[in-house]
Amino acid sequence: MAEKKYYDLPELVRQYLYYLITIKNRSKRTADAYAIDLRNFFRFYKIHKSLVNDDAEFSSILINDIEIDLIKTVTLLDVYEYLHFAMEQNNNAAKARARKVSSLRGFFKYLTVNLRILKENPVEHLEMPSLKKTMPKYLSVSESKELLHNKSESNSPTKFRDYCILTLFLNCGMRLSELVGVNLEDIKIEPGSLKLLGKGNKERIVFLNNACKTSIDNYIKNERNIIKVIKDKKALFLSSRTGKRIGARQVQKIVQAALRDAGLDGKGYSPHKLRHTAATLLYQYGHVDILVLKELLGHVNVGTTEIYTHVANDMIKDAVFKNPLADEKILSNKSNKNK
C-alpha cells in the first residue's frame, strides 16, 4: 500500500502523491518515482540548510517533520544546487535529472495552483536539462526472424508463452508494463484487437495481425489452459509454476534468455528495444504516418515518436538509387583528344 512507501515523507508531499494517483490518474509507478525524487530533494535540503549534522547518513535523514514554513524558503538557486548534487554525488545523467525537474515542478505547482499556500512558484522557470538525442537501438528484420525461429525450435516447457511474448513485442510495439497487464478479456481474436492500459492509465487499442492471433491462440490452448492451479484467472500471461500473473522482471529474463539463445546477447537489446524494433519496422516497411505511429505506441507528444524517423535516411538513399538515371555513365573529365 502507498502508506508503507510514503510514511516517511512530509505531509504535503504525501498529499501531492495521493493527488497524482486519485485525481490525475497517474500510475502508481509514476507516483513512486516522484516520491523517490522528492524524498532525496528534502534530505538534501536539510543538509543544505544545516538542519542535520554534517556526518549524517543521507538515507537516514528524517524529513517527515518538514512543514510549509521550511518549504516556503526553497529558491530556484537551491534547486540548481540540488541538481548539481544529484549529478556530482549520485552520477545522475541528464535523463534522471529531467525526471527530478518534473517531480519538483509538479509538486510546487500543486502547492501554488491547487492548494494556493504559496504565492509564488519558486521553480516556475526551472528548465529541463538538455537531453542528447540518440538513435533508438533495434533488431534488424533478419535478427527478429532469428529470435522468433530459435524460440519456436526450443524444447522449453514455456515455449508457446515465451514465443507469444516475443511476437507481441515485435508486432504491436507495446511497453513491458502493458504486456504484463494484459487480461483475457482485453483480447478480441476476431476481428483481431487488443486493449492496452498505457501510461497515465490511458487505454488504447492495437490491432492483431495473423502472427499475433496465432501465437495467442497456441499459447492459451497448449500451455495456459493446462496449468493446474490458476490464481490470476484474468491474466493472459501466467507463471507456469505459481499460476500467478507474470511479472515485469520475469519477462525481462525471458527476453534476455531468448536473445542469448539466438546469439543476440551483448548487443544491448531488451524488451524496450523490441518495442523500438516494432516501431521502426512499421515506419520503414509499413510506411506508417508518424501521427498514426504516435497513436499506436501510446505517445503523448509526437516529438517522442519522431526518433523513429531515423529510418527516413535509408529510405531516401534507396529512392535515389532507384532513380532511372542512376546508372547513366558520367561524362569523362579527360581532355578531348580531338582538340
Active site residues: 175, 199, 272, 275, 299, 308
Cα pseudo-dihedral 265, 272, 207, 258, rounded to 10? 20
State the DSSP string of 249-271: HHHHHHHHHHHHHTT-TTS---H
CA distances from 10 to 36, 38, 66, 139, 144 (A): 13, 10, 6, 45, 48
Check: CB of residue 99 under 8 Å from CB of residue 37.
Answer: yes
State the DSSP string of 19-68: HHHHTS---HHHHHHHHHHHHHHHHHHHHHTT-S-TT--GGG---TT--H
Query: How far, in whole angstroms, is CA 217 from its chain's centroid?
Result: 27
